[in-house]
Amino acid sequence: MRFLCLHGRGTDAEIFKSQTARLREALGQEHEYVFVNGNVRARARAGLTPDTAYGPQGLGFWPLDDPDEHRTRRVYHDLVAFIASRGPFDGLMAFSEGASVAATLMTELARPDSQEPVPGIRCAVFFCGLPPLNLQLRQTDRPIALLDSAVDGVSVRVPTAHIWSSAGQVLPDAGRHLAALCDPDTREELIHDLGHQVPGSLSEKGLRQTVRVIERTLERAKSSS
Per-residue model confidence (pLDDT) at position 69: 72
The residue extents of the domains of the chain are 2-224
Per-residue model confidence (pLDDT) at position 55: 54
Per-residue model confidence (pLDDT) at position 200: 87
Cis peptide before 50 (omega within 30 of 0): yes
For every one of its 225 residues, what pLDDT tens digit does the chain have, with 9 covering 90 and above?
999 999 999 999 999 999 999 999 999 999 999 999 999 988 766 544 444 455 556 899 988 877 677 788 889 999 999 999 998 999 999 999 999 999 999 998 887 776 665 668 999 999 999 999 888 755 445 556 777 767 777 889 999 999 998 876 566 678 889 999 999 999 999 999 888 889 987 889 999 999 999 999 999 999 986
Overall CATH class of domain 2-224: alpha beta
Pick the closest to residue 132 from 81, 59, 73 (CA basis).
73
Per-residue model confidence (pLDDT) at position 195: 85
Distance CA 55, CA 172 (A): 23
Cβ 33 vs Cβ 198: under 8 Å: no
Distance CA 101, CA 99 (A): 5
Per-residue model confidence (pLDDT) at position 142: 55
E-strand ranges in 16-57 read 32-36, 40-42
> What single-letter DSSP state applies at residue 132?
P
Per-residue model confidence (pLDDT) at position 169: 59
Integer distance in angstroms from the first to the last C-alpha of the chain? 12
Sheet of 160-165: strand order equals 32-36, 2-6, 91-95, 123-127, 160-165, 187-192
